[in-house]
Amino acid sequence: MKNTECKEWPDLHSFFRALNERCEYIVVRNFEDLFGDFTKGGHQDIDFLCSDRELFIEAGGCIPRLKKNDPIHRKVIVGGREIPVDLRTIGDGYYDTRWEQDMIKNRRVVSEVIYAPSAEDYYYSLLYHVLIQKKKIADDYRLRLGKMAEELGLEAAMDKKELIRFMKEKAYLFTYPENPKGIFNHEDLPQEMIEINKKRIFMRKLARLL
């Protein structure tokens, strides 16, 4: 990971316009409040999925937030304020690679300058996030999933069987994330739907010992 020049953006609109000129990305969730108080639900960072992380980091002037060579946890300076960003990229195991590709392909524009997932991808990726990648479900996510499920004509909002059905239909797999300390609740999932990645499994075991 090469060093990146820190850029100071006057506002978020300027930051997103710069990204839009050079990058393919989506804000995975919580994009509804970005130009208001996007921390009101207790979410302190902006979660991105991009097709080229190096290019995104360069275009956005995203500097290290934790370790220097950590490509995921970055921050940007907007209006004199440090905003944490988490950068996911295609093939990183945060979601199935084909799903990540589809999310970028099916993206839509919201708030004039922000690329976001389609309504379907948003619901199921958020459902995946709270059921597979979290220990505790935030109250605002429960409300949001309930509203989105109703809009999609689904009977239940927090239904793991519905997530599995969707992923089977799309031929997506549950995947080990590149971050060895990332939460992956896979214990009660169909084994045939879990992608085996020996390197990431080993790194997770090693991380527990450190």
- Please tell me the predicted confidence (pLDDT) of residue 56: 97
Domain range list for the chain: 8-193
Contact between residue 9 and residue 76 where contact means Cβ atoms under 8 Å apart: yes
Decide if 27 contacts 38 (C-beta within 8 A).
Answer: no
Query: Average pLDDT of each block of 10 consecutive residues along the chain (210 residues)?
Result: 76 96 97 74 81 96 89 94 96 98 98 97 97 93 94 90 97 96 95 97 92
Task: Evaluate whether the domain defined by 8-193 bears CATH number 3.30.460.
Answer: yes
Give the count of beta carbons closer than 10 Å to the beta carbon of residue 129: 19
pTM recorded for the entire structure: 0.93
Q: Work out the angle at residue 142's Cα, subtended by the Cα atoms of residues 93 and 120, and round it to the nearest 5 degrees.
A: 55
